[in-house]
Structure 1
């Protein structure tokens, strides 16, 4: 490819748009009740709050990570496609008018909108209604970086980054990519697991409201190894799968596991060795093995508060450093890294380990948020940044919904991919007989999925359900 040298750029066309994919995205949101929910629940003291909130969500869908980036909504023919587009400074003033109570109202909108989206796009949480299926609720937190010291509640957290702590809960199934079911912004130096029990209760309620009727499993890492969280999972009649801290009780339990109890598992770089002389026709040749033992979690609590459960342990051979002559220390001093988690599930040991490793899916969600609106938290007021996070959650779920509508190739695509292929699509508006025609690029590689999204957002229920 070679660039043409005979080009003269001129910014003068009032009919061009650079993000035509916002049209079906916002139409889908409207059909799921976005504007009605915002109008009915959001009482923030700002005129036309529902319109402004929808504008912030639209800007985030295109990749805005700051107030100034919301100006992308005002170019070319965008005012013809979307009414009531405001200036970035207006959106900034609107967000600064939020209080903690208003953020909770926005969380309520997000929860109800997800239920509306699952009704419009049945495959959004595919498999959640299967009688024998399973859905997962994963919790994790991250530090959202801020720039400048005039930021309310910002502090240095566990990652040594100056920012605010955002806790997120996502729901997923083996057949569907995750959607965000709850979020919360905290002080930058807040302990990761603080408030996780309340977050889980909210997340489960949202997941159930969105149509998850099957078995739920709650997953979290060792930072959330807390009695109140595990108790909340049991109270919600969930299976739990939480990474255990390597305290004295856990280390002692691992030490009691005999060598003959370890089972090789399929792990990265594992090789299947066919052997007709063993059950199953073969076995995995891998440096990873699993074993389990009975365990009583939180044994320092009163007996009535202790949690009898299974302790499943995965061990991976620790790579030995090479000596100066290139040799490797022999087997006598071989050691393993151990990863243990507690669970009350009835799954097999190997299946329980596989499902627990699936908790890493929430790391991808956090990465997608940080590749978009959470690249940094742009506002000085704590409540305003909390509102920014709540809007980002709505935008994420909307993007996930249009990805599912687009078909299998986009159902699990990352947000950046959806932006590049389905949202930030150039177009030109033509007017004929009071009707707008949106001309899109010829030979666009993702024209068919885009048209499917548009038809699903605007067509009858039979098209949406397809």
Structure 2
């Protein structure tokens, strides 16, 4: 590909008031309205203060921030992209970045909780109007994990030097919902200080997440999956109160080691991965493993008897390629194994439960998606402003996932970066005819059919859709 015009034959002028760069925001924000986002914000978020506190009309400010994130904004200043060309003709209530920054800085912890409630109800609305979580009435998986987000500057509230030496971080907690046929959506998020323990507030967070999953249509079998930092009696108790199964990595404590050592040799079942996996410790590719199960393992024996839990302990072992095999007395070589146990009351058979537990890593894709988009920066020095920014990212993520689910089968499983490139970043020219606005879009747009499907669906009345 090369330029077809001589250098002197090309010029540029930013002078056309009828052009927009992100015409795909039209159906996306229509979908947000169908999910009752502006109405939910007006009903729930109550920010009061002086005239310059940013408290007036929170619905316009929340939708402006979410629209900017859907278009790729990773800072408050990026929201200015909503005010170019003919965008004011397509959208009302667009707010300037300075107004949006003031609005975020006016948040308190209570206001962040109000925004959490909006996110929870908005997810339920999207799930009701789109195939966001297909087959959720049969089986759904709820994944919980935490991550660290590096920040810069000593004035950033809540940032601490914790797990990573010399690096200041904030510590978000994240929960997602997925089904065997759908990519995950975000059920809940929490922003915490950099030195917060991974499991701090986990019981309450799990309780809220499982309630959100039920409201979003997950009425069948539910399985909560988590890493070893969430292996505690309170998390398991929260699952059982919500009638949800659990599948939690245990780590290798002395009790687990004794239980694994007692597994009879003949009970190990071979398993071959359909795709080779990377060993997290050695970096080697592993394609073979063995799995065994202890049907009745009692966990949390240091707690009161009523708080102890007896369930299945499933153990996967792989050859430790970093250590050579041990030579025995008769000269044969005994392989050295690495063990990966998890505690579960899953209703599925052993090998299926083990495969499902490994799929917990899907939450890492959501975290990476956020860090390559709106979470590239936590834009404010105020902790509660950053907490609000995190919740707004979760809502924009779910909104794009819902738009992709309506557009095509391919976009239902695409990354949000792909959805933005295919469905949102569409240039258009505005024209008027018979008191109607017409969007003239590029001829031969490669994803024309998906865009048309999305546009038609969200602009059809719900009763006629």
Q: Do they fold alike, i.e. is TM over 0.5?
A: yes
TM superposition shift of 1:235: 1.4
Query: Matches of 1:315 and 1:268 in 2, distance apart?
Result: 16
**Gap change, CA 1:347 and 1:438, over 3 Å in 2:** same
Q: 1:172 aligns with which of 162, 178, 182?
A: 178
Paired position in structure 2 for 1:215: 221
TM superposition shift of 1:332: 2.0
Q: How does 1:128-139 map to 2 (within 5 A)?
A: 128-129=136-137, 133-139=138-144
Paired position in structure 1 for 2:356: 355
TM superposition shift of 1:286: 5.3
Query: Matches of 2:455 and 2:292 in 1, distance apart?
Result: 50
Paired position in structure 2 for 1:304: 306
Q: How does 1:193-342 map to 2 (within 5 A)?
A: 193-268=199-274, 287-293=288-294, 294-320=296-322, 332=333, 334-342=335-343
Query: Matches of 2:227 and 2:12 in 1, distance apart?
Result: 52
Structure 2 residues not aligned, in runs of 5+: 49-54, 277-285, 326-330
Q: How does 1:181-200 map to 2 (within 5 A)?
A: 181-200=187-206
**Gap change, CA 1:349 and 1:16, over 3 Å in 2:** same
Paired position in structure 1 for 2:420: 419
Q: How does 1:40-119 map to 2 (within 5 A)?
A: 40-45=43-48, 46-119=55-128
Paired position in structure 1 for 2:436: 435
Instruction: Tell which deviates more after alignment, 141-150 or 88-97.
Output: 141-150
TM superposition shift of 1:320: 4.4
Query: Matches of 1:311 and 1:3 in 2, distance apart?
Result: 63
**Gap change, CA 1:269 and 1:423, over 3 Å in 2:** closer
Paired position in structure 2 for 1:140: 145
Query: Matches of 1:34 and 1:412 in 2, distance apart?
Result: 23
TM superposition shift of 1:246: 0.9
TM superposition shift of 1:226: 1.5
Query: Matches of 1:409 and 1:341 in 2, distance apart?
Result: 33
TM superposition shift of 1:145: 2.1
Query: Matches of 2:332 and 2:408 in 1, distance apart?
Result: 51
Task: Quote the RMSD (CA, aligned, Å).
Answer: 1.8
The TM-score, its normalising length taken from structure 2, stands at 0.91
The Cα offsets for residues 79-117 of structure 1, whole Å up to 9 and x where unpaired, read as: 111112121111101100111111111111111111111
TM superposition shift of 1:460: 2.9
Query: Matches of 1:70 and 1:322 in 2, distance apart?
Result: 56
Counterpart secondary structure, 1:98: coil
**Moved >4 Å (runs of 4+):** 320-323
The Cα offsets for residues 23-56 of structure 1, whole Å up to 9 and x where unpaired, read as: 1000011011111111111111311111011000
**1:16 aligned onto 2:19:** yes
Query: Matches of 1:257 and 1:333 in 2, distance apart?
Result: 17
Counterpart secondary structure, 1:179: strand
TM superposition shift of 1:333: 5.1
The Cα offsets for residues 270-306 of structure 1, whole Å up to 9 and x where unpaired, read as: 7xxxxxxxxxxxxxx9521100113111121122211
**Gap change, CA 1:368 and 1:463, over 3 Å in 2:** farther
Paired position in structure 2 for 1:275: none
The Cα offsets for residues 309-366 of structure 1, whole Å up to 9 and x where unpaired, read as: 111000111214799xxxxxx9725211111000012311101101111111111111
Counterpart secondary structure, 1:197: helix
- 1:44–1:98: 8 Å Cα contact kept in structure 2? yes
TM superposition shift of 1:455: 1.1
The TM-score, its normalising length taken from structure 1, stands at 0.91
Query: Matches of 1:353 and 1:443 in 2, distance apart?
Result: 46
Counterpart secondary structure, 2:380: coil
Instruction: Tell which deviates more after alignment, 69-78 or 380-389.
Output: 69-78
Counterpart secondary structure, 2:94: coil
Query: Matches of 2:224 and 2:381 in 1, distance apart?
Result: 34
**1:3 aligned onto 2:3:** yes
- 1:312–1:340: 8 Å Cα contact kept in structure 2? yes
- 2:139–2:218: 8 Å Cα contact kept in structure 1? no
Query: Matches of 1:455 and 1:144 in 2, distance apart?
Result: 39
The Cα offsets for residues 187-214 of structure 1, whole Å up to 9 and x where unpaired, read as: 1111111111111111111111122111
**Gap change, CA 1:331 and 1:42, over 3 Å in 2:** farther
Query: Matches of 2:345 and 2:98 in 1, distance apart?
Result: 51
Counterpart secondary structure, 1:287: strand
Q: How does 1:20-31 map to 2 (within 5 A)?
A: 20-31=23-34
**Gap change, CA 1:408 and 1:318, over 3 Å in 2:** same
